[in-house]
Amino acid sequence: MATRHLEYRPDLDGLRAIAILPVLFFHADLPWFPGGFVGVDVFFVLSGFFMARVIMADLERDDFSFWQFYLRRIRRILPALFSMIAITAGVAWFLLMPKEFEYFADSVKAAALFTSNILFQRESGYFDIAAEMKPLLHTWSLSIEEQFYIIFPITLFAAHKFARKHLVTILLAVMLVSFAASSWAAFRSPEKAFYLLQFRIWELLTGSLVALIPRPNYPPGLPKYLGLLGIAGILLAVFLYSSDTPFPGLYAALPCLSTALVIHARCSDGVPALLLNNRASIFVGRISYSLYLWHWPLIVFFRYMLGHDLTIVNSVQVVVLSFALAYLSWRFIEQPARYGVWLSSRTVIFGLSGSAVLAAVTFGFTVQKLEGIPQRLPEEVYQLYAATYDKSPFFSEKCFANSDGKGLAARDVGEGKLCTIGASDKNKIQFLVWGDSHAAAIAPAIDAAARQRGTSGLFAGRASCPPLPEADFGPPAAVNRCKDYNAAVMDLIQRERFPFVFLVGYWPKYVHRAELPGEGIYFDAAMAPNLTDWSAPVHTSLRRTINRLAQQGTRVILVMDVPEMGRDVPEALARAKMTGGSLDVAPSLEYTRKRQALARQVLTDSAKESGSLLVDPMKSLCDATKCHVIVAGKVLYQDGDHLSRQGAEFLAPIFQPVFSVIHDDTRIVASGG
């Protein structure tokens, strides 16, 4: 094979160690490596370098073969990858709940087809499960590399054949365009910048250019200083960057260029050689691929079983287990697959690879079609978990706009194309329900109470958009995303002059600009909730909105928020049932009161100031000692803070007094009183 003609460089195995260790420590929640994620960027540069070096060596000898290139890639990548996927799937079968298992199955299919970066970029909807719960999330970087491996050899082959003199110029131009796009997207569309090849290819091409541009003859001693500077640049990013750093883009230039400098330096003496060429670094570098494959699913399942974030002790345990699994994978899967005789036949390699891909894709489609195979769960467990699917019909796209803008558009609102709530008589609309996802969740309660009184209304909702026109309720991007929608709703109200408007929102989130710590993932009631006071702009907007509506004769009904549970309730109940734990998964009443106090005060004061009506769900969901997630066998929550449809319908009686007022007011107006 062509790779055997190339000089082995132990310093590059050492550089792999510098890449993988920060990634491992960062993912394992060790606090001293806040920018450890840049290790992936080091790998990208290394991959680009190796690919260019291997391909160009074959091209210069006129010995390049696409078949041989992809055979080497298959032997290097697929056996360990599919072994990890298969074992992870086995654990997931017994551990994950149906919805999680559906997401997992989709990621298995995507990982097998090397499109998981595209999948995870798209999986950013309002009800998407958290990244910390996705065992194959780390395969996004492998997908980027594989997509590069498809494009790059063809590009290099064509450029070498038809534009050899301009090869470096072509790659440099593509690299600069990609870098510029990445720098722009890191601020404008960070998910795309992070996950998609077009915004990452400049990192791989950085390594490729190091392989293609001739290295000058440096004076003795200079390379070690270049290498030391490169290592320092990588470590600087590891220790100074954090999850708040806009990435990749401009900030990725430091670790990428530093990696290129280390590769270019070819360190063989001095401090860089001591760091890179020692036995420990070389060993870690050699097992780095398996270490990368196994560490993340191990961390996900570890957290899953613990039910909370990793402690320092847990982090150390994860690191040790990751090394153990990585060594076994390297010794018994990677090495035999790369150098064993049993995988020397092209037919065998492609046959096994094709079968593995087909099996993974079939698994993904089957699990999705069977909705996560809930039959895996005992019947009494599934009855609790089923509340996950007990979703308000007002979340449908014809009624509601998701956080990504899909669904009910501002234009639809302006044209009055809203869902009816209550009695289905659009000629006698008496009220409008306006709010965010919490409005959609509680809407069945309003719907049931309105139907009982024969009163008709309309519903307008958008995720994470409180009914606060132009209020500063969060980051500028979140506020700007809601402006057009809220303006359209306000214009509709003023045009149609609805007699009553319900304002519903996730009020604690807006007055504190935070959800509960570990919301929906690893909630821990021992951690105090964020109580920072951001209520002033919320209160100001409420007052202004209520006054504007009052001037045209519209009366406001303020709906307080439901208690937040922190945990994904159906999932927590199902796990508790499965393990024999307590079904009392709600935080203490004291905790809930502390969290809700500021929001409740703002709404109470707003109601008193304006004479608005006030509805309080907490009185029905909580007693003198605690709040409830199950009543009469019905699970009241769909997740950690959204009511299930059954939960909302349970609250219908608390809206009956309001509809008595609406009904009486309508009767008075109709009689001319």
Q: What is the pLDDT of residues 45-67, one digit of tens each?
A: 999 999 999 999 999 898 889 98
Reported as type and span, the H/E element at residue 555 is strand 555-559
Domains identified in the chain, total number? 2
Kindly state whether residues 636 and 523 are assigned to the same domain. yes
| Confidence class for position 269, pLDDT limits 50, 70, 90 | confident
CB 614 within 8 A of CB 558: yes
| Confidence class for position 127, pLDDT limits 50, 70, 90 | very low
Classified as helix, coil or strand, 505 is coil
Residues in the chain: 673
Kindly state whether residues 337 and 400 are assigned to the same domain. no
Kindly state whether residues 433 and 560 are assigned to the same domain. yes
Kindly state whether residues 355 and 428 are assigned to the same domain. no
Q: Would residue 304 count as lying in a domain?
A: no
Q: What percent of the chain has pLDDT over 90?
A: 75
- Report whether pLDDT(5) > 60: no
Q: What angle do CA 228, 230, 236 make, to 5 degrees?
A: 100
Q: Would residue 563 count as lying in a domain?
A: yes
Separation between Cα atoms, residue 627 and residue 620, nearest integer Å: 9
Q: Would residue 309 count as lying in a domain?
A: no
Kindly state whether residues 458 and 593 are assigned to the same domain. yes
Separation between Cα atoms, residue 467 and residue 538, nearest integer Å: 10
Q: What is the pLDDT of residues 469-500, one digit of tens each?
A: 978 888 887 888 899 999 999 999 999 999 99
Q: Would residue 9 count as lying in a domain?
A: no
Reported as type and span, the H/E element at residue 649 is helix 645-650
Q: Would residue 284 count as lying in a domain?
A: no
Residue 637 is which amino acid? Y
Kindly state whether residues 641 and 523 are assigned to the same domain. yes
Separation between Cα atoms, residue 529 and residue 507, nearest integer Å: 14
Classified as helix, coil or strand, 408 is coil
Kindly state whether residues 354 and 401 are assigned to the same domain. no
Sign of CA dihedral 413, 414, 420, 423: positive
- CB atoms closer than 10 angstroms to residue 261: 21
Separation between Cα atoms, residue 485 and residue 402, nearest integer Å: 12
Separation between Cα atoms, residue 655 and residue 672, nearest integer Å: 26
Domain extent for 272: 41-277+327-376
Average pLDDT value over all residues in the chain: 91
Report the pLDDT averaged over residues 142-160. 94
DSSP, residue by residue, 431-498: EEEEESHHHHHHHHHHHHHHHHHT-EEEEEEETT--S-TT---S-HHHHHHHHHHHHHHHHHHHHHT-
Q: Would residue 289 count as lying in a domain?
A: no
Report the pLDDT averaged over residues 21-48. 96
Reported as type and span, the H/E element at residue 501 is strand 500-504
Residue 107 is which amino acid? S
pTM exceeds 0.85: no
Report the greatest alpha carbon distance in the chain: 101
DSSP-H helix ranges across 127-166: 139-162
Separation between Cα atoms, residue 93 and residue 276, nearest integer Å: 41
Q: What is the pLDDT of residues 576-630, one digit of tens each?
A: 888 788 899 999 999 999 999 999 999 999 999 999 999 999 999 999 888 999 9
Separation between Cα atoms, residue 238 and residue 230, nearest integer Å: 13
- Report whether pLDDT(343) > 70: no
Closest to 393 (Cα-Cα) out of 367, 368, 372, 420: 420
Q: Would residue 505 count as lying in a domain?
A: yes
Kindly state whether residues 395 and 271 are assigned to the same domain. no
Place of tokens 């969740």: 441
- Report whether pLDDT(282) > 70: yes
Report the pLDDT averaged over residues 421-426. 87
Q: Which two tokens stand for residue 431?
A: 């009220």
Q: Would residue 31 count as lying in a domain?
A: no
Kindly state whether residues 369 and 396 are assigned to the same domain. no
Closest to 224 (Cα-Cα) out of 267, 260, 262, 263: 267
pLDDT at 342: 63
Closest to 218 (Cα-Cα) out of 173, 148, 267: 267
Kindly state whether residues 408 and 370 are assigned to the same domain. no
Separation between Cα atoms, residue 534 and residue 539, nearest integer Å: 9
CB 61 within 8 A of CB 53: no
Closest to 319 (Cα-Cα) out of 28, 31, 18, 37: 28
CB 288 within 8 A of CB 322: no
Name which residue leads in pLDDT, 667 or 264. 264
CB 621 within 8 A of CB 442: no
Kindly state whether residues 486 and 549 are assigned to the same domain. yes
Separation between Cα atoms, residue 598 and residue 640, nearest integer Å: 20
Kindly state whether residues 458 and 575 are assigned to the same domain. yes
| Lowest mean pLDDT segment, chosen from 42-46, 178-182, 197-201, 342-346 | 342-346
